[in-house]
Every structure is written in C-alpha cells, then in structure tokens.
C-alpha cells in the first residue's frame, strides 16, 4: 500500500480526505482494496496510460471489464 500510494502521489493523484484508499486526478479515480485496484474514468486512453505507467512500477493483472467490485454491481452506460 505504501509503495503504491507514494507512486500515485508522484503521478499527481490525491487521496480523498474521507477515504485514504480512493485516489483521483482529473477525471480518473483509483480505488484500492487490499491487493485490488479499480481504475475508472471518462477516457479509455487516459486509463490505459495510467495502467501502463502503474505496470512499470508494480505488477498488475488487467481484468478489463468488471461487473462486480466488492459485491457492488457495476453497470456500464458505454463501452
């Protein structure tokens, strides 16, 4: 967690004051839960750049489209 949060800070992500596992920058949100990351936002190219940058520092496995996260159903309104 510490390595990841320091790296996110270097990428200009800020954590919420009310929840230190949620980070945001511009229109991208990253949620951390144990060893899972949920990266979401309005721009798929921006998300892909963040994933590529993160993958250089920490090994990530991209599961692409998700339908549930922490027992919460995710409904997409676009692909």
Provide the CATH number for the domain around residue 46.
3.30.310
State the burial class of residue 31 (Cβ atoms within 10 Å of its Cβ: 0-12, 13-18, 19+).
Answer: middle
Kindly state whether residue 31 falls inside one of the protein's structural domains.
Answer: yes
Tell me if the pTM is above 0.75. Answer: yes
pLDDT digits (tens, 9 = 90+) for 8-63: 999 999 999 998 899 999 999 999 988 888 898 888 899 999 999 988 888 888 87
Report how many domains make up the chain.
Answer: 1
- In angstroms, the CA 50 to CA 10 distance is 12
pLDDT at 67 (0 to 100): 73
Coil, strand or helix at 51? helix
Q: Residue 23 sits in which domain range?
A: 1-56
Place of tokens 């998700």: 66
């Amino acid at each position: 967690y510490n390595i990841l949060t320091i790296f996110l800070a270097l990428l200009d992500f800020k954590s919420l004051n009310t929840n230190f596992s949620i980070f945001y920058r511009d229109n991208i949100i990253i949620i951390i839960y144990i060893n899972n990351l949920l990266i979401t936002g309005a721009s798929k190219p921006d998300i892909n750049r963040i994933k590529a940058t993160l993958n250089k520092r920490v090994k990530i496995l991209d599961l692409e489209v998700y339908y549930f996260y922490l027992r919460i159903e995710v409904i997409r309104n676009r692909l």
